[in-house]
Amino acid sequence: MNLVFDTSILSCFSRANDLEQLELLTGYADRRVTTRAVIDELRQGMSDYPKLAMVEEQSWLQHVSVDGLDELRLFAEFSRRLVDSKNRNIGEASALAWAKKHDGTFLSDDQTAIVLAKEKGIEYRRTLALVADGVCRKTISQTEAGALVDELIDGGAHFPCRGGSEFLAWANIRGLFDRIPQL
């Protein structure tokens, strides 16, 4: 299984100083990758958020290019839908293109990119789903999951639940604990 990281999830975990937890939560994957465009987006934010520099230091995260003909065609298609006049969302377009070409799971909290992933039949996961998957896999306990959600919020993440104390009930209502994640 290939997991393809977008800027949003990497930023969320690095700003909270929790990249080690992200590595643990995704350790079941055959490959964990991000695109060079995502790395470039993170570099642009380092002056405001120096912790983003930690992403490039992660040995478990492979940096891939989107430069094959099929990947470039997909990137162009996704860019038309996602990239704005200020050239935002290039990372999302590149990660989606790589995920589509390599049958990867797209990891993002960007709503517009998630809508496109659904439309194009690309499997996706959001941050809170990754945390719930970790509980289901027994990678982390429910208590650790709640604490992690609080840390991510303290780092600047915005979630539909107000904190770790609400996370378990929120995830349960949405059936995130009812499925067994693929191994």
Domain shared by 135 and 116, yes or no = no
Structure tokens at 177: 């604990």
Domain span holding position 46: 2-125
* pLDDT tens sequence across 19-42: 999 999 999 999 999 999 999 999
Provide the number of structural domains found in the chain.
2
The domain boundary residue, chosen from 87, 104, 125: 125
Our measurement of the distance from residue 111's CA atom to the centroid of its chain's CA atoms, rounded to an integer in Å, reads 12
Domain shared by 146 and 64, yes or no = no
d(CA 25, CA 134): 6
d(CA 99, CA 33): 10
Q: Is residue 183 part of a domain?
A: no
Domain shared by 98 and 149, yes or no = no
Around 66, how many Cα atoms within 13 Å sit in the side-chain half-sphere?
30
Q: Is residue 86 part of a domain?
A: yes
Identify residue 35 by its one-letter amino acid code.
T
Q: In angstroms, what CA-CA distances link 142 with 22, 30, 139?
A: 16, 25, 10
Report the CATH number at residue 69. 3.40.50.1010
Q: What is the pTM of this model?
A: 0.94
Q: Is residue 120 part of a domain?
A: yes
Domain shared by 132 and 121, yes or no = no
Domain shared by 113 and 161, yes or no = no
* pLDDT tens sequence across 70-128: 999 999 999 999 998 888 999 999 999 999 999 999 999 999 999 999 999 999 999 99
**In this model, does residue 183 exceed pLDDT 70?**
no
Structure tokens at 151: 């840390």
